[in-house]
């Protein structure tokens, strides 16, 4: 159906019109009086009528063909979760996004700054899922900032009577996950000089320090030297990184379990390391499971890595009522979090599978 084609001319009748406005409300959170289909009879005209209500609403897109089972909601994105969603045969998978989130991306592309309050975004996502879900038991997952948002949304939905006991975080790195060490910095610089990269190392340090001063990025992120052939961070990545910095874990306590899937292909700044648990043990009151996949951050949801994420997630949910996608007994190892020895962190460039 074309966006300029009249809905009533596409075989619709009055009963179909009633169902349509109900589904529009369920998907977007916006009230569409039945009379709207007569005053704005095409999709293009309906979109134009949405107005300011769309700015406050979250939208949900079905990402696979499954209709029954415990729903899995993927936060802060749609298309990036598509490949993962198609692996699930017994659970419907949905992508959730908010218009104000898109506004933040557009502002970033234009070189502007738009503050998207995390509390407000949490309410928008919680409203969308509460409106859409037909049961109180759901699963929330998210890549990067989407994982941090999933923690907040799950807590909010549980306050509203939902029964969310597990959340999955795909390489979600909160601001406090980075550790800087003078000893490691000396070792890193010495190692690079020994490899004949003295000039490049100095250029990286100066360039990243200048960029940090200009963009006010956290030091652990601002000194990220690019790998050969790697593009600089996308506009979307920059926008979500700014949203991530707005996340403050201080005083938070999430009373449910969580699975953290880490991407091991990371090049951290000189002297920088990551905490083994990314700092989540301090805020997850339930069980924290940790696994790792040999992929980079964005590639975690592509190709073979996406399949491994599916295997991990389906096994993690194997005993979750209504989820029947388990592919075996821990086909990829998942370990409960064990308090590391003092000073244990994930080192630069380390590829580790948690067993």
- The model's pLDDT over 228-247, given as tens digits with 9 standing for 90+, comes to 444 445 555 666 677 777 78
- Residue 335 pairs in a beta bridge with 290
Instruction: Check whether 201 has a pLDDT greater than 80.
Output: no
Higher pLDDT, 326 or 176: 176
**155 contacts 129 by C-beta, under 8 angstroms:** no
**145 contacts 240 by C-beta, under 8 angstroms:** yes
pLDDT confidence tier of residue 322, bands split at 50, 70 and 90: low
* DSSP run (H or E) holding 155: helix 145-159
- pLDDT at residue 99, rounded to an integer: 72
> Distances in Å between the alpha carbon of 317 and those of 41, 48, 78, 138, 186?
44, 41, 22, 11, 43
Instruction: Check whether 13 has a pLDDT greater than 50.
Output: yes
Higher pLDDT, 33 or 67: 67
Instruction: Check whether 305 has a pLDDT greater than 80.
Output: yes
Q: What is the mean pLDDT of residues 260-289?
A: 89
Q: Give the chain's largest Cα–Cα span.
A: 76
Percent of the chain surpassing pLDDT 90 = 40
pLDDT tens readout for residues 114-170 = 667 889 899 999 999 999 999 999 999 999 999 999 999 999 999 999 999 999 999
- pLDDT at residue 197, rounded to an integer: 67
- pLDDT at residue 243, rounded to an integer: 75
Instruction: Check whether 318 has a pLDDT greater than 60.
Output: yes
Poorest-confidence range of 52-61, 155-164, 197-206? 197-206
For the chain, the C-alpha Rg in angstroms (whole number) is 22
Query: How many Å apart are CA 67 and CA 87, to the nearest integer?
Result: 14
Q: What is the mean pLDDT of residues 264-272?
A: 78
- pLDDT at residue 188, rounded to an integer: 62
Q: What is the mean pLDDT of residues 66-83?
A: 94
Domains of the chain: 1-50 (1.10.1200.10), 52-177+244-346 (3.40.50.1820)
Record the pTM: 0.71
pLDDT confidence tier of residue 250, bands split at 50, 70 and 90: confident
């Amino acid at each position: 159906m074309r966006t300029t084609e009249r809905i009533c001319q596409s075989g619709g009748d009055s009963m179909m019109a009633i169902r349509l406005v109900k589904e529009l409300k369920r998907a977007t959170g916006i009230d569409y009086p039945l009379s709207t289909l007569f005053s704005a009879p095409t999709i293009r005209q309906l979109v134009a009528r949405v107005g300011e209500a769309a700015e406050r609403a979250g939208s949900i897109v079905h990402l696979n063909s499954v209709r029954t089972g415990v729903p899995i909601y993927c936060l802060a994105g749609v298309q990036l979760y598509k490949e993962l969603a198609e692996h699930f045969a017994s659970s419907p998978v949905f992508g959730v996004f908010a218009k104000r989130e898109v506004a933040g991306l557009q502002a970033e592309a234009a070189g502007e700054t738009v503050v998207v309050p995390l509390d407000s975004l949490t309410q928008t996502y919680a409203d969308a899922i509460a409106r859409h879900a037909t049961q109180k038991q759901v699963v929330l997952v998210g890549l990067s900032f989407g994982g941090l948002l999933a923690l907040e949304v799950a807590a909010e939905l549980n306050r509203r009577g939902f029964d969310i006991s597990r959340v999955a975080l795909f390489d979600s790195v909160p601001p406090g996950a980075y550790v800087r060490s003078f000893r490691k910095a000396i070792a890193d610089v010495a190692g690079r000089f020994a490899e004949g990269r003295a000039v490049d190392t100095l250029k990286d340090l100066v360039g990243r320090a200048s960029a940090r001063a200009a963009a006010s990025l956290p030091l652990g992120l601002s000194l990220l030297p690019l790998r050969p052939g790697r593009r600089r961070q996308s506009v979307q990545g920059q926008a979500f990184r700014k949203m991530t910095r707005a996340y403050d874990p201080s005083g938070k306590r999430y009373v449910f379990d969580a699975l953290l899937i880490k991407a091991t292909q990371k090049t951290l700044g000189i002297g920088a390391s990551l905490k083994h648990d990314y700092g989540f043990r301090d805020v997850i009151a339930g069980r924290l499971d940790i696994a790792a996949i040999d992929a980079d951050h964005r590639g975690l949801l592509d190709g073979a890595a996406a399949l491994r994420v599916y295997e991990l997630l389906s096994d993690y949910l194997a005993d979750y009522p209504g989820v029947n996608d388990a592919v075996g007994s821990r086909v990829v190892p998942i370990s409960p979090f064990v308090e590391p020895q003092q000073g244990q962190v994930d080192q630069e460039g380390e590829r580790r599978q948690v067993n």
